Amino acid sequence: MGQIEWAMWANEQALASGLILITGGIVATAGRFTQWYFGAYSIVAGVFVCLLEYPRGKRKKGSTMERWNYYVRAVLHLLLSVPAGFLLATILGTACLAIASGIYLLAAVRGEQWTPIEPKPRERPQIGGTIKQPPSNPPPRPPAEARKKPSEEEAAVAAGGPPGGPQVNPIPVTDEVV
Amino acid sequence: MGNWVVNHWFSVLFLVVWLGLNVFLFVDAFLKYEKADKYYYTRKILGSTLACARASALCLNFNSTLILLPVCRNLLSFLRGTCSFCSRTLRKQLDHNLTFHKLVAYMICLHTAIHIIAHLFNFDCYSRSRQATDGSLASILSSLSHDEKKGGSWLNPIQSRNTTVEYVTFTSIAGLTGVIMTIALILMVTSATEFIRRSYFEVFWYTHHLFIFYILGLGIHGIGGIVRGQTEESMNESHPRKCAESFEMWDDRDSHCRRPKFEGHPPESWKWILAPVILYICERILRFYRSQQKVVITKVVMHPSKVLELQMNKRGFSMEVGQYIFVNCPSISLLEWHPFTLTSAPEEDFFSIHIRAAGDWTENLIRAFEQQYSPIPRIEVDGPFGTASEDVFQYEVAVLVGAGIGVTPFASILKSIWYKFQCADHNLKTKKIYFYWICRETGAFSWFNNLLTSLEQEMEELGKVGFLNYRLFLTGWDSNIVGHAALNFDKATDIVTGLKQKTSFGRPMWDNEFSTIATSHPKSVVGVFLCGPRTLAKSLRKCCHRYSSLDPRKVQFYFNKENF
């Protein structure tokens, strides 16, 4: 089980727990069960957990946040789940959230890191990016060796020479037609 | 729309029947508990939520019966084999077993929610009526005690004023098993989401075995008899319709009515789940037995792009075209079984699989086989199991589309065709095959280069060049490759593969392909088979619908998709 990222499962589990807390809380509040105010708490806690967990992380690639993020989540979920445990309607949410907290703890201990899903940076089509410049070294070209050395020297010495300017033949070419 | 109905009428019918049964069972149980006199007094305390809870319980029993059946692979293979005379549509249904399993699971989740919410209300009602001191009917009913000496005919499970509902939940069998079952169900569902399943299969596989707790819990859930109705004897003596109003006088010596007596409902869940559980146990035993048989590895080939070919032998193994097997390697992982399509033909004296490095297990396996100096790891095999490719030879014209490693089932088919031609088998219904292989990188082609080369030669020798029409598409091309291809345009063989058929670059234009096929075979039934990604399935399905004519005598395209 080398590459399991427990945090992914903890994320799903916590999200499900949030929904269960909300449902249990609504039932308890609507039915005015004894100690129904725990139900009201449960709805609020459930909504908070859902909002926290909804941005699902993606697999470990790209930018990262610190590891203690998972410890924080584990402790937070555990604390949130405790008050809901006092009411039967919400105790299921407590159990599920506690399990999610446990899985987050496991993820934290194993050193995983949280990566939010980043929207893929849309590659703006570069205007004129596909236009390729025409070759700047048209034939007739002197042999490769002659081409290489002078260009290095040119760059060092003739700092003022325009790069795209008129072709300067490194070897003087004489017109043999007289 | 018409084509969709033609292709899917059986699935729709099946689902309608299943939903209809669910609704029927729910309404039937609901009315029974809502109207029956036996539960008159129970309803006085609980109201309609009693009927709600019992109705959803019945649906839960029904769906729990169904949930184990679609995952009995061997049973389904057996049905598929014996139903060879059945129509194609019926057998196609067996391909959708996992979809049905998921639908039943969702229904179980829905009914669990209804059941739990209803019982929460029930417990609250019981608790209130136990606390009530106003001498109402509800409070008197609640005071009927659990004491065996007075007949043990209690109604309210909450016995004393100080008992909380939480206490009752965790000390009664029904409550405790209910909590355990629900937690098991939730864990199974959260670890079975598409994302987790595709990325971390092991988490899904091991967590899903919590179903054992679910089934066990379901079996003993009803033992406590918490749902109480009035006994026959008590109803004859003091019928609720007559006696309910005069409840203050039940204890008077000269009243006609006595205190009602109640009895619990015997558990019935076990009757529903017994048969599927036995079938599933048999299935697992069969899988284990088949896996214990010795597998001899006769040849190991390492192909480029990290693809491993294993040729094996096993006593009593017989396969059909395009089937798949489950493979286990105990030295890598004791309990993991992974599916692979067979790439050999039934006519060969060995069976082979091609494994691509796609995750933990496959990478470890390839690494283990790469070691030249250590002994070959032991392999266990379960199967073969049948899928849609078996149907290829039932169609007059077959269109086979494989994307990347998805070509494996079709490799088996093509090899089988080659052998059939060698044996001059004229019983082949298939008259023409169009084969499309879409691949990202050139190294991938080398696997079946030999196969395609020999097929080319074979076709030429037998003069049946028109039988197999194949086209290869390279989607991961760059300007270098295209440059080479352009330069070598006049050569007889392709520079990428060495085959006579030239490789095309980019993706196929399906509309063109389908319209060509439709015009070449105006009166045939064409089977389209795909092993590849979902987006491709969508476009192919659309084309199938678009190019099938409405007249059933003219060209019809049927779409089949492999999925693992």
Q: How far is B329 from chain A (nearest CA, A)?
A: 14
Total H helices, total E strands in chain B: 21, 14
For residue A167, count other CB atoms closer than 10 A to its CB: 10
Q: Looking at this protein, which amino acid is placed at residue A162?
A: P
**Residue B183 predicted with pLDDT over 90:** yes
- Say if CB A78 and CB A101 are below 8 A apart: yes
Say what the pLDDT of residue B443 is.
64
Say what the pLDDT of residue A154 is.
44
At B194, list the tokens: 């598409």
C-alpha torsion sign, points A125, A130, A136, A141: positive
Please report, in range form, the residues annotated as the binding site of B for heme. Answer: 101, 115, 209, 221
Check CB contact under 8 Å for A88 and B120: yes
Average of pLDDT values for A111-123?
A: 53
User: In this structure, what DSSP letter does residue B133 have?
Assistant: -
**Residue A171 predicted with pLDDT over 80:** no
From chain B, pick out residues whose CB is under 8 angstroms from the CB of A99. Answer: 183, 187
At A163, list the tokens: 């790069």
**Residue B86 predicted with pLDDT over 70:** no
Say what the pLDDT of residue B32 is.
93
Average of pLDDT values for B485-514?
A: 74
For B120, the closest of A1, A20, A27 (CB atoms) is A27
Say what the pLDDT of residue A6 is.
84
Check CB contact under 8 Å for A12 and B191: yes
C-alpha torsion sign, points B423, B427, B428, B431: positive
pLDDT tens, residue by residue, B284-322: 998 888 878 889 999 998 877 778 889 999 988 888 887
Q: What percent of chain B has pLDDT over 90?
A: 24
Q: How far is A163 from chain B (nearest CA, A)?
A: 28
> Among A146-160, B39-53, B82-96, B465-479, whose mean pLDDT is lowest?
A146-160
- Of the pLDDT bands very low, low, confident and very high (cuts 50, 70, 90), residue A148 is low
Check CB contact under 8 Å for A1 and B202: yes
pLDDT tens, residue by residue, B504-561: 778 888 888 888 888 888 888 888 888 888 888 888 888 888 888 877 778 888 887 6
Measured CA to CA, the distance from residue A112 to residue A68 in angstroms comes to 9
pLDDT tens, residue by residue, B2-43: 556 666 788 889 999 999 999 999 999 999 999 988 888 888
Residue with token string 């080939």: B301
Q: Which of B542, B564, B562 is nearest to B401 (CA)?
A: B562
> Among A102-106, B25-29, B186-190, B396-400, whose mean pLDDT is lowest?
B396-400
B384 prior amide bond cis, ω within 30: yes
Higher-pLDDT residue of A160 and B494 is B494
- Say if CB B221 and CB B267 are below 8 A apart: yes
At B129, list the tokens: 């009526």
pLDDT tens, residue by residue, B191-227: 998 888 877 777 888 899 999 999 999 999 988 888 8
Higher-pLDDT residue of B304 and B268 is B268
- Say if CB B75 and CB B283 are below 8 A apart: yes
Measured CA to CA, the distance from residue B211 to residue B345 in angstroms comes to 37
Q: Which of B279, B280, B278 is nearest to B209 (CA)?
A: B280
> Among A92-96, B111-115, B472-476, B527-531, whose mean pLDDT is lowest?
B472-476
Measured CA to CA, the distance from residue B392 to residue B430 in angstroms comes to 8
Average of pLDDT values for B173-177?
A: 92
Q: What percent of chain A has pLDDT over 70?
A: 53
Total H helices, total E strands in chain A: 5, 0
- Say if CB B59 and CB B118 are below 8 A apart: no
pLDDT tens, residue by residue, A48-99: 999 988 876 554 443 344 456 888 889 999 999 999 888 888 999 999 999 9
**Residue B229 predicted with pLDDT over 90:** no
- Of the pLDDT bands very low, low, confident and very high (cuts 50, 70, 90), residue B495 is low
**Residue B135 predicted with pLDDT over 80:** no
Higher-pLDDT residue of B149 and B372 is B372
Higher-pLDDT residue of A127 and B333 is B333
Measured CA to CA, the distance from residue B63 to residue B518 in angstroms comes to 44
- Say if CB B538 and CB B559 are below 8 A apart: no
**Residue B114 predicted with pLDDT over 90:** yes
User: In this structure, what DSSP letter does residue B124 have?
Assistant: H
Q: What's the distance, CA B470 to chain centroid?
A: 33
Angle at B185 (CA atoms; ends B184, B186), nearest 5 degrees: 95
Check CB contact under 8 Å for A8 and B196: yes
Measured CA to CA, the distance from residue A52 to residue A14 in angstroms comes to 9
At B359, list the tokens: 């995750």
Measured CA to CA, the distance from residue B389 to residue B401 in angstroms comes to 11
From chain B, pick out residues whose CB is under 8 angstroms from the CB of A49. Answer: none
- Of the pLDDT bands very low, low, confident and very high (cuts 50, 70, 90), residue B87 is low
From chain B, pick out residues whose CB is under 8 angstroms from the CB of A16. Answer: 186, 189-190
Residue with token string 């009201």: A40
- Say if CB B531 and CB B559 are below 8 A apart: no
Check CB contact under 8 Å for B203 and A3: no
Say what the pLDDT of residue A24 is.
93
**Residue A15 predicted with pLDDT over 70:** yes
Measured CA to CA, the distance from residue B375 to residue B263 in angstroms comes to 67
Say what the pLDDT of residue B513 is.
87
Say how many Å lie between the first and final Cα of chain B, rounded: 28
From chain A, pick out residues whose CB is under 8 angstroms from the CB of B166. Answer: 88, 91
> Among B95-99, B100-104, B210-214, B291-295, whose mean pLDDT is lowest?
B95-99
Average of pLDDT values for B374-396?
A: 78
Residues of chain B whose beta carbon is less than 8 angstroms from a beta carbon of chain A are: 113, 116-117, 120-121, 123-124, 127-128, 165-166, 169, 179, 182-183, 186-187, 189-191, 193, 195-196, 199-200, 202-203, 359-360
Q: Is B292 helix (H, G, I), strand (E, B) or coil?
A: helix
Q: A129-141: b or e for each residue (b if 16 or more CB lie within 10 Å)?
A: eeeeeeeeeeeee
Measured CA to CA, the distance from residue B151 to residue B144 in angstroms comes to 10
For the whole model, what pTM was predicted? 0.75
Measured CA to CA, the distance from residue B251 to residue B238 in angstroms comes to 13
Q: What's the distance, CA B6 to chain centroid?
A: 23
- Say if CB B507 and CB B472 are below 8 A apart: no
Domains of chain B: 25-286 (no CATH), 293-385 (2.40.30.10), 394-406+414-442+467-475+521-532+543-563 (no CATH)
> Among A50-54, B274-278, B342-346, B394-398, whose mean pLDDT is lowest?
B394-398
At B440, list the tokens: 């990202």
Q: Which of A102-111, B273-282, B352-361 has the largest mean confidence?
A: B273-282
Side by side, the strands of the sheet bearing B324-328 are: B338-341, B324-328, B380-385
> Which segments of B226-278 are extended strands (E)?
228-230, 262-264
Dihedral-angle region of residue B463 (phi above 0 means left; psi in -120 to 50 means alpha; beta otherwise): left
Q: What's the distance, CA A13 to chain centroid?
A: 21
Say what the pLDDT of residue B336 is.
78
Q: Is B525 helix (H, G, I), strand (E, B) or coil?
A: strand
> Among A129-133, B78-82, B154-158, B479-483, whose mean pLDDT is lowest?
A129-133
Q: B513-522: b or e for each residue (b if 16 or more CB lie within 10 Å)?
A: bbeebbeebe
Beta-strand relationship, B397-403 and B525-531 = parallel
**Residue A118 predicted with pLDDT over 60:** no
Query: Which helix (H) or strand (E) segment is A9 a member of?
Result: helix A6-30
* φ, ψ at B312 (rounded to 5°): -135, 165
Give Rg (Cα) of chain B. Answer: 32
User: Which whole-number Å values give the CA distances from B469 to B430, B460, B501, in the listed order?
Assistant: 13, 12, 9
**Residue B366 predicted with pLDDT over 60:** yes
Using a 10 angstrom Cβ sphere, with 0-12 exposed, 13-18 middle and 19 or more buried, the burial of residue B202 is: middle
- Say if CB A60 and CB A117 are below 8 A apart: no
Average of pLDDT values for B177-185?
A: 95
- Say if CB B391 and CB B91 are below 8 A apart: yes
Q: Is B527 helix (H, G, I), strand (E, B) or coil?
A: strand
